Amino acid sequence: MTDPLVSVITPVFNGENFIRSTLQSVFDQDYSNFEVIVIDDGSEDGTAQIIKSFPSVRYHYQQNQGIPRARNAGLSLARGEFVAFIDADDLWMPNKLSLQADHLRKNPEAGCVLTLQRLFAEGGGELPVWYAHQRFRQDHIGYFPSTLMARRYVFEIVGNYNPLFPLSESADWFARVKDAGIRIDVLNITLLQKRIHNLNAGLKRKETRSEMLSVLKQSIERKKERGSNPPPEVTLR
Amino acid sequence: MISLSKTYSVNRQQVVHDTIDGEVVSINLESGNYYSMNDLAAEIWNWIHAEGMHSKIVRRLYEQYDGNPSEMADSLERFIQQLLEEGLIREIEAKNTELAMPSAVKARPSLSSAQKKPFVAPKLEKYTDMQEFLLVDPIHEVDEEGWPHKKSSSNFSPS
């Protein structure tokens, strides 16, 4: 059986510090049938030169439009049956694509599959205070695009990332997937190392919290429209 | 039985909330549960948020809503008890014990029955389906300035 094509999408803005190691972790995968699409969202540093040193990357430049639109631009170019994302400062374990593609192939009823993630501090330092909580020091489920592999048609069902939620676009998308009753599986193995540093967009607390509340309000409205059917459970494999 | 002298406040240590188009949406960051409150429930929440003295909440309820008084009192107590059990509010020391006493429930010019809104029991709607997500999402404690660390230009900057 032929391995399904996986489209790997990397949005990047001024990512020269880490994009090389990120892309290298993609090309070090033990899965061969993938394409890499990098959406350069208006970088003004050396990002483009680094990306072009990886000849097989499909490079697309656009004026800065924010991360949801950059992810969506990648989706519009994707040709794979499956889609995966990796943000330009994260690192994959070498068997990330193979394990997830294998899982989706063997579980046709699953729309997407996540993995556990491990946080690490830039420069090997200590994680910031709130990450010191026990649940972040342990490897945990990453509800982030960098741990996700999804069937491309899931995006056709629930839609792409919402540009109205530049900080919580991932939460909004996962909520829509759950509300649509699409099964989200989790591989109980750590396949992402997520870099934490001072400019992580998620650290903009006030704006993030405000967006998250709007995301949940929309999800509540969808549930009320749907009736009292319970949302699907996340299942561990 | 909840005493009239009690005072409540939103549990700011672990609760994020906002009123959006009249609906209160709140998240308990410790449990990962989230909640919806509409109509009277939203109004009571905002009373607690503004000034959580139980006696004043009771007074506002009777001033603005028309219904069976004992049913209204029981519903209010059940609702507040739910908010406490879900960790959304907590009981605090009243700053002014005199004001917190039942005797401080002073009569205001009351609306006529026709002007009052009909009483419908407040309802707390609870959702648990995003628990795992909300428990690990970066909406938890962090300074407004973010994490003081060496400057990096690597991360995405939303436009």
Q: Residue A233: what pLDDT?
A: 45
Q: Residue B146: what pLDDT?
A: 38
In the numeric block, the tokens 């069976």 are attached to B68
Q: Measured between CA atoms, how close is A204 to chain B, in angstroms?
A: 6
CA distance B55 to B33: 29
pTM score: 0.84
**Neighboring chain B residues of A198 at a CB cutoff of 8 Å:** 146-152
Q: Say whether A66 and B158 touch across the interface (CB within 8 A).
A: yes
Low-confidence ranges of chain A (pLDDT < 50): 201-202, 231-237
A160 neighbors B126 (Cβ within 8 angstroms): no
Backbone angles phi, psi at B19, to 5 degrees: -105, 120
Q: Measured between CA atoms, how close is B113 to chain A, in angstroms?
A: 32
Q: Say whether A234 and B132 touch across the interface (CB within 8 A).
A: yes
Q: Measured between CA atoms, how close is B78 to chain A, in angstroms?
A: 23
Least Cα distance to A169 among A143, A195, A203 occurs for: A143
Question: How large is the angle between the packed helices B39-50 and B69-85, nearest 10 degrees?
Answer: 70
Q: Residue A3: what pLDDT?
A: 93
Residue B4: C-alpha distances to residues A175, B26, B82, B122 (Å): 40, 25, 17, 19
Q: Say whether A213 and B159 touch across the interface (CB within 8 A).
A: no
Least Cα distance to A121 among A47, A199, A213 occurs for: A199
Q: Measured between CA atoms, how close is A213 to chain B, in angstroms?
A: 6
In this predicted model, which residue has the larger pLDDT, A218 or B95?
A: A218
CA-nearest residue to B127 within chain A is A220
The three-class DSSP label of residue A55 is coil
CA distance B117 to B113: 8
**Neighboring chain B residues of A205 at a CB cutoff of 8 Å:** 139, 142-144
A120 neighbors A25 (Cβ within 8 angstroms): no
Per-residue pLDDT tens digits for B24-74: 999 998 899 999 999 999 999 999 999 889 999 999 999 999 999 999 999
The string of DSSP letters for B85-131 reads HTTSEEEE--S-HHHHSGGG-----PPPTTTSEEP-----EEE-TTH
Residue B136 DSSP code: T
Q: Residue A107: what pLDDT?
A: 97
Least Cα distance to B136 among B35, B26, B30 occurs for: B30
Q: Residue A44: what pLDDT?
A: 94
Least Cα distance to B49 among B2, B17, B82, B81 occurs for: B17
CA-nearest residue to A198 within chain B is B147
The three-class DSSP label of residue A230 is coil
Q: Say whether A216 and B153 touch across the interface (CB within 8 A).
A: no
Sign for the CA dihedral angle at B1, B4, B6, B12 comes to positive
Per-residue pLDDT tens digits for B107-138: 455 677 778 899 999 999 999 999 888 887 65
ipTM greater than cut 0.90: no
B30 and A CB contact within 8 Å: no
- Those residues with Cβ within 8 angstroms of residue B79's Cβ, 6 or more apart along the chain or in another chain: B41, B44, B121, B122, B123, B124
Left, alpha or beta for B22 (phi > 0: left; psi -120 to 50: alpha)?
left
Helix spans in A78-131 (H): 96-106
Q: Say whether B125 and A220 touch across the interface (CB within 8 A).
A: yes
CA-nearest residue to A127 within chain B is B147
Per-residue pLDDT tens digits for A168-196: 899 999 999 999 999 999 999 999 998 88
**Neighboring chain A residues of B35 at a CB cutoff of 8 Å:** none
Mean pLDDT for the stretch of residues B64-91: 95
Q: Residue B135: what pLDDT?
A: 81
